[in-house]
Structure 1
């Protein structure tokens, strides 16, 4: 007998409405899986394809290289990687961005446990070897990111699709 698959409906809301509610739930101790929107973490995380598993951040445990959900301005949230922490000042940069953003440590609203990429049921944890290797390499390539991202957008995606 075949097992019947149940497809759960997905709802979409503007980030400005949804993310404050997500933050409330994180602060209550819930973990949340959320489909990603936007291109700031390209090339490895894609808009409307990949998902992130969020948890409440433990601020003293955050370190350079960690991807986080931050509120950089009131009701403006970004999922970026921490590239620098100086006291309470945090510098963020999306993997697909060339310009950094800033916030305070207290503005970090969510920590990332891992990502579900390419509709895989397996979580790629940020403390796993795969993510750590990718992160180390990608952060060292920052001086030539503009070239790599241009190649990815203009040639790779049209020929092969998103990676």
Structure 2
């Protein structure tokens, strides 16, 4: 098939290239909608859902905010659950153990709107209730781990 045919094709690009473009758009002052890949934000954000991001510009972060950050050499979309020694602690909602510790300079964007693929309406996720619900879910991780072990 010809390289420039009008058939729709899926292109695969590296995470580095993808997020470089996301960051470029954010630096221009624009919002960016990205598709979430993976299950680390279950049960609230599912694989394939989309979120609307706005650039992080050093403003105070509300606990429970969903943020895009760079942790070492990988990009993560996780919840801000605390701060320790001037580092921001991030955790995926679906994660029972792991946390990331990032600097303010590693934070790229804050998510404001969630577009679930199985619903027609967008959900404002940077409001008090969704943030508190996510924090509550984070703080019962021990109970969730116990329940997961008992379910085996």
| Bigger helix fraction | 1
Do both proteins adopt the same fold according to a TM-score greater than 0.5, normalized to the shorter chain?
yes
**1:136-163 CA distances to partner (integer Å, 9 max, x unpaired)?**
43133222232456799x8xxxxxxxxx
Which has the higher mean CA deviation after the structures are superposed, 124-133 or 87-96? 124-133
**1:108-142 CA distances to partner (integer Å, 9 max, x unpaired)?**
00110121113434221123465245324313322
Secondary structure in structure 2 of the residue aligned to 1:65: coil
Q: Report the equivalent of 2:39.
A: 39
Aligned partners of 1:143, 1:42: CA distance in 2, in Å? 16
Aligned partners of 1:32, 1:96: CA distance in 2, in Å? 24
Gap runs ≥5 in structure 1: 1-7, 155-163
TM-score when normalising by structure 1 = 0.74
| Equivalence map 1:12-161=2 (5 Å) | 12-48=12-48, 50-74=49-73, 76-86=74-84, 88-97=86-95, 98-128=97-127, 131-147=130-146
Gap runs ≥5 in structure 2: 1-7
Aligned Cα root-mean-square deviation (Å):
2.7
TM-score when normalising by structure 2 = 0.79
Contact in 2 for aligned 1:124/1:131 (Cα 8 Å): no
